[in-house]
Chains A and B, each alone.
Chain A
Amino acid sequence: MRPAPGGSPRHRVFVWLVALAVLHALVVFAGVISPYAPEEQDRDHAYAPPTRIHWIDSRGGFHPRPFIRPWLPLEGGLGEFAEDPAQQIPLRFLVAGAPYRLLGVIPCRLHLFATEGARISLLGTDGYGRDQFSRLLYGGQISLLAGWLAAALALLGGTIIGTAAGFLGGWADDALMRVAELFLALPWLYLLFALRAFLPLAVSPLQAFFLVVGVIGAVGWARPARLVRGVVLSAKERDFVRAARGFGASEGYLLRRHVLPETASVLLTQAAILVPQYILAEVTLSFLGLGVPEPAPSWGNLLASLQQYSVLASYWWMCLPAVIMVPFFLGYLGLASALQAWTGPVKIAGGGSGSAE
């Protein structure tokens, strides 16, 4: 999936897009691919390690259809299990199972794989015996959506305000940039507490979460705005823009035709950085009680469960989801740089580049 080093930028963008599309398909079709509903508990198998897939039975016979052996809880402590050597449960593919709604609408029961009589958990289970693999896939739906939503809002706000500041210049520019500084400096933690207090509990927690994400995105305009402003400032002074103005082009035309397109690559780079950042912001949000509430899964709360010594020290498989998330993040970053190479280097005038944090 890696682009050839010498591949043309266009080609590289394409390859990254395909890679990301494949990854996202896994998440979008979580219902089919995951064997269980994400909140389904199996209280007898809390903290069970990943189920082992076998091809060879105890007598050395080879089975073309792989099988699993159920975990038997051992005495003394959670997370201690042994395989039951007496049982062989074959893996079955494309079978009907727990009902779900495909793409959130179509009622469906088809699962890519399943086992009968014992549960299969490719990435082990969490403290409630829920299947980590299913939670990872379903969690992606919420997290990616939240990431996009927040990034889109931040970029939208940033573009509008940044363009206005750069294009208008003068005191308007000055005022907008001072406000941007204020926004960068503010203690958002407090705002978020206050915000939750205003939301009635009747709002379902998931809706509340998206609202909070929306707000975070909306107040995140300051950094992109500074970047966009820088680009607009320098674009305004480019020779061809001056020339166009000289020929009597209207300001609106200049903006649309020459200035805004210049900002595209800055925005794309920002998007690629912001989406993963906003996905991870949920870890902090859960601390404030503003994250995705149990039992709904999200990448943020999968990662948040790693924040305990006992989990890190005792249940190594709880780290697997984090490992599996890396390609997604890599994909976004890769796409960003490929896009950057394709659209050509950007001129960033003087101003603050980037989101340091």
Chain B
Amino acid sequence: MRRNGTKLARVCLLAGAMGIFFWSAGRAPATAPPGGHEDPGREAAAPYQSEIGRRGGRLVAALRSEPKTLNPLFAADAPSREVIGLMQADLVHINRASQLTEPALASSWKVSPDGLQYTLELREGLRFSDGHPVDADDILFTFQVLLDESVHSPQRDLLIVGGKPIAIEKRGPRTLVFRLARPYGAEERLFDGLNILPRHLLETPYREGKLAQCWTLAVRAAEIAGLGPFRFKEFAAGERLVLERNPYYWKTDAAGNRLPYVDEVVFLFVPSADAQVLRFRAGETDMITRLSAENFSALARALPDAVMADAGPGLEYNFVFFNLNEPGEKTPAVQARRQKWFREVKFRQAVSAAVDREAIVRLVYQGRGAALWGLVTPGNPRWLDATLPRPARSLDRARELLRAAGFSWKTGSTGESQLLDADGTPVEFSLLTSASSLERTKMATLIQDDLKQLGMRVQLAPLEFRSLLDRVFQTKEYDACVLGLASFDADPNTDINVLLSSGAQHLWNPGQARPATPWEAEIDRLMEQQLAARSFQERKRLYDRVQEILAEYQPMIFLASPHILAGAKRSVGNFHPAVLEPYILWNADELFLRATGEKPAP
């Protein structure tokens, strides 16, 4: 894999991995959710205005598994990131509602005209949650640790831009300069999620090479500090994690009250989605997210008094892709023959034309989803290519395409029609899905039936998630696969390693030494250009072109994107789910609990 000098795609494979047994996995994060509750008009998106809240109280939420670590340098799993998100802060932050950047620990920043130098001004009077003051040296320390190769922080590669590590320099007690080797398209979004660490607590372990053993779940409250709204209080293995209000938090509300409002946030570990629903129903948790459409409607029926919010389509996109890898010596002959069909553009176009996306939205998401023809979902209006063609399902067109590619039909013994390739071999292939993702298995079942009408015989192969990944990335023994990806951010750079032919996540043929097809070469070129482009309009124009190429060559046949569905008790103030992760706790510092009997503001 080639290193991209970019904020590498922060894309997470939405594993159905988490959806442990049969309950479906969580969903992806989201974008600007609209203000409304109860099925808010997706377009309406009234800008989020927070209400002045009331101090005190305890907020209870559920996590589907324990966080594995509280150390932001090593956190890779979603529960850890979610908890750390409440305990730590970054220099510049992406507002989950507006999807735009806003000042965080840095009160302001300037970008030099050539786009290579960022000057950040640190906020005054910052203190860590243990009361220790923050200065520029903490920032220097943080980036030193992040960039240290012997630390092995997964975030290190974010800071390699244009093949070189970002250089940091202290210009004054509160002024820092970051130098990049090459302009970076997404600009200050780079800083989101890079948490500033307390030098006074971590420097000694760092010198001793023991950083990885710091801030595990065995940590004591005195040993851990951050700049987020909450700080660690206690952890009960397998049961819960309790955070308490950080009295030194730097943010205030419009009336000048110091945030956050609530005294404690409790995370209960509830490993199954259904159990999460039931605990919310029983009133044991205050908020719930990552709801499936079925559970969402079941809850809405059962709890007329709760606020059930549909934030609209998230950033998760589900798709089918075919195995377009170069057949090697060990590739079985059957698979090599099938791959010949898959490499035929018209074959993929025919499959795309035959897929009933509307049925997927209706049957898989109960209408709480959006049909997709490209990887940018309607949840990301800024980057959505509105001119992308959205052809309706057409079996006729699919048949035409297949005929043009040399396929033909014969009638089988019980009267069903069977598609044959140019050599007379029946078209038959397997479709992988993650066994633990109910939704994707359902999509695959619908696709199988759609393609049966074209005479293709598709066999479903639901596999446990790691086994599926192993086939797609290691052994490359598969025909086709249904998968979902959820971008962490709305910026196209998030998905860069899916799109670049050299990318490790270029699913259909990952890590190519040089582009296998002209259109992949063209996408590579466009993506590199947009990375260096300096204006949004220019980047958008280039990225739209990428989406058009994808729509034409169909390496990924896009299916649908689910809405972000969440719920809260009516007493939770400022509840405003976003379509970016963390859907409901992104504004944890502003969430508050109304006094009993108090009516929510209109």
A and B touch in the complex (CB under 8 A): yes
Residues of A that sit less than 8 Å from B by CB: 39, 41, 43, 46, 77-78, 99-101, 107, 127-128, 193, 196-197, 200-202, 204-205, 286-289, 291, 293-295, 304, 307-311, 313-314
User: Would B274 and A308 count as touching, CB distance under 8 A?
Assistant: yes
Partner-contacting stretch, out of B398-406, B430-438, B554-562: B430-438
Complex Cα gap A294–B443 (Å): 11
Complex Cα gap A291–B274 (Å): 22
Q: A43-B362, A46-B362 are in contact. List 17 more A-B contacts (CB 8 A).
A: A128-B449, A196-B464, A196-B467, A201-B430, A201-B432, A201-B477, A205-B459, A205-B460, A287-B436, A288-B464, A289-B436, A293-B460, A294-B448, A295-B460, A308-B274, A308-B438, A309-B295
B110: A residues at CB distance < 8 A: none
Given contacts A39-B449, A128-B363, A201-B477, contact A288 B298 (CB under 8 A): no
CB-defined A-B contacts under 8 Å, sample of 23: A41-B449, A46-B362, A78-B363, A100-B414, A101-B414, A128-B446, A196-B464, A197-B467, A197-B470, A202-B332, A205-B430, A286-B435, A288-B464, A289-B462, A294-B444, A295-B460, A304-B22, A308-B23, A309-B295, A309-B298, A313-B298, A314-B297, A314-B298
B461 on interface, CB distance cutoff 8 Å? yes
Which of A99, A196, A197 is in CB contact (< 8 Å) with B414? A99
B438: A residues at CB distance < 8 A: 308
**CB within 8 Å of A: which B6-54 residues:** 21-24
Identify the 4 closest CB pairs spanning chains A and B, nearest first. A289-B435, A310-B294, A309-B274, A307-B22
A294: B residues at CB distance < 8 A: 441, 444-445, 448, 460, 462
Complex Cα gap A200–B338 (Å): 14
Complex Cα gap A312–B59 (Å): 29
B601: A residues at CB distance < 8 A: none
B278: A residues at CB distance < 8 A: 309
B413: A residues at CB distance < 8 A: 107
Given contacts A202-B332, A293-B459, A310-B298, contact A43 B363 (CB under 8 A): yes
User: Would B477 and A200 count as touching, CB distance under 8 A?
Assistant: yes
B325 on interface, CB distance cutoff 8 Å? no
User: Would A313 and B302 count as touching, CB distance under 8 A?
Assistant: yes
B449: A residues at CB distance < 8 A: 39, 41, 128, 295
Complex Cα gap A107–B412 (Å): 13
A77: B residues at CB distance < 8 A: 297, 366
Complex Cα gap A13–B21 (Å): 40
In the complex, which residue of chain A has the Cβ closest to the Cβ of B333?
A202
Complex Cα gap A107–B302 (Å): 49
In the complex, which residue of chain A has the Cβ closest to the Cβ of B459?
A205
In the complex, which residue of chain B has the Cβ closest to the Cβ of A289?
B435
**CB within 8 Å of A: which B269-318 residues:** 274, 277-278, 292, 294-295, 297-298, 301-302
User: Would B470 and A310 count as touching, CB distance under 8 A?
Assistant: no
B477: A residues at CB distance < 8 A: 200-201
Given contacts A196-B467, A201-B461, contact A310 B479 (CB under 8 A): no
**Least Cβ distance of B177 to chain A in Å?**
51
Complex Cα gap A46–B293 (Å): 15
B445: A residues at CB distance < 8 A: 128, 294-295
User: Among the interface residues A77, A205, A289, A307, which one has the most CB atoms of the partner chain B within 10 A?
Assistant: A289
Complex Cα gap A77–B449 (Å): 23
User: Would B460 and A310 count as touching, CB distance under 8 A?
Assistant: no
B140 on interface, CB distance cutoff 8 Å? no
A309: B residues at CB distance < 8 A: 23, 274, 277-278, 295, 298
In the complex, which residue of chain B has the Cβ closest to the Cβ of A40?
B449
B463 on interface, CB distance cutoff 8 Å? yes
User: Would A310 and B295 count as touching, CB distance under 8 A?
Assistant: yes
User: Would B464 and A310 count as touching, CB distance under 8 A?
Assistant: no
In the complex, which residue of chain B has the Cβ closest to the Cβ of A196?
B467
Complex Cα gap A314–B414 (Å): 37
B359: A residues at CB distance < 8 A: 43
User: Would A308 and B363 count as touching, CB distance under 8 A?
Assistant: no
Interface bits B325-342 vs A (CB < 8 Å: 1, else 0) = 000000010110000000
Complex Cα gap A205–B431 (Å): 11
**Least Cβ distance of A301 to chain B in Å?**
10
User: Among the interface residues A46, A107, A310, A313, which one has the most CB atoms of the partner chain B within 10 A?
Assistant: A310
B206 on interface, CB distance cutoff 8 Å? no
A193: B residues at CB distance < 8 A: 464, 467
In the complex, which residue of chain B has the Cβ closest to the Cβ of A293?
B460
**Least Cβ distance of B233 to chain A in Å?**
31
**Least Cβ distance of B408 to chain A in Å?**
23
**Least Cβ distance of B427 to chain A in Å?**
14
Interface bits B175-201 vs A (CB < 8 Å: 1, else 0) = 000000000000000000000000000
User: Would A201 and B479 count as touching, CB distance under 8 A?
Assistant: yes
**CB within 8 Å of A: which B413-454 residues:** 413-415, 430, 432, 434-436, 438, 441-442, 444-446, 448-449
Which of A100, A289, A307, A308 is in CB contact (< 8 Å) with B294? A308
Complex Cα gap A220–B434 (Å): 28
Which of B22, B356, B363, B444 is in CB contact (< 8 Å) with A46? B363
Complex Cα gap A202–B356 (Å): 26
Complex Cα gap A200–B435 (Å): 17
User: Would A127 and B442 count as touching, CB distance under 8 A?
Assistant: yes
User: Would A127 and B21 count as touching, CB distance under 8 A?
Assistant: no
B294: A residues at CB distance < 8 A: 308, 310-311, 314
Which of B297, B302, B332 is in CB contact (< 8 Å) with A200? B332
B334: A residues at CB distance < 8 A: 202
Complex Cα gap A127–B274 (Å): 18
Complex Cα gap A309–B356 (Å): 27
**Least Cβ distance of B196 to chain A in Å?**
41
User: Would B21 and A287 count as touching, CB distance under 8 A?
Assistant: yes
A201: B residues at CB distance < 8 A: 430, 432, 461, 471, 477-479
Complex Cα gap A288–B478 (Å): 18
Complex Cα gap A222–B459 (Å): 35
Complex Cα gap A46–B366 (Å): 10
Complex Cα gap A41–B335 (Å): 29
**Least Cβ distance of A101 to chain B in Å?**
7
A127: B residues at CB distance < 8 A: 363, 442
B435: A residues at CB distance < 8 A: 286-289
**Least Cβ distance of B456 to chain A in Å?**
14
In the complex, which residue of chain A has the Cβ closest to the Cβ of B465?
A289
User: Would B277 and A204 count as touching, CB distance under 8 A?
Assistant: no
**Least Cβ distance of B333 to chain A in Å?**
10
Complex Cα gap A204–B278 (Å): 38
**Least Cβ distance of B130 to chain A in Å?**
42
User: Would B460 and A78 count as touching, CB distance under 8 A?
Assistant: no
Complex Cα gap A241–B589 (Å): 83
Complex Cα gap A214–B345 (Å): 41
B434: A residues at CB distance < 8 A: 289
Complex Cα gap A295–B450 (Å): 13
A307: B residues at CB distance < 8 A: 21-23, 274
User: Would A295 and B463 count as touching, CB distance under 8 A?
Assistant: no
In the complex, which residue of chain B has the Cβ closest to the Cβ of A307?
B22
Complex Cα gap A314–B366 (Å): 13
**Least Cβ distance of B314 to chain A in Å?**
20
Complex Cα gap A293–B435 (Å): 9
**CB within 8 Å of A: which B119-155 residues:** none
B448: A residues at CB distance < 8 A: 294-295
B430: A residues at CB distance < 8 A: 201-202, 205
B297: A residues at CB distance < 8 A: 77, 310, 314
Complex Cα gap A202–B429 (Å): 8
**Least Cβ distance of A47 to chain B in Å?**
9
Complex Cα gap A109–B441 (Å): 31
**Least Cβ distance of B541 to chain A in Å?**
39
A313: B residues at CB distance < 8 A: 298, 302
B446: A residues at CB distance < 8 A: 41, 43, 128
**Least Cβ distance of A27 to chain B in Å?**
21
In the complex, which residue of chain A has the Cβ closest to the Cβ of B441?
A294
**Least Cβ distance of B344 to chain A in Å?**
20
A287: B residues at CB distance < 8 A: 21-22, 435-436
**Least Cβ distance of A61 to chain B in Å?**
37
A196: B residues at CB distance < 8 A: 463-464, 467
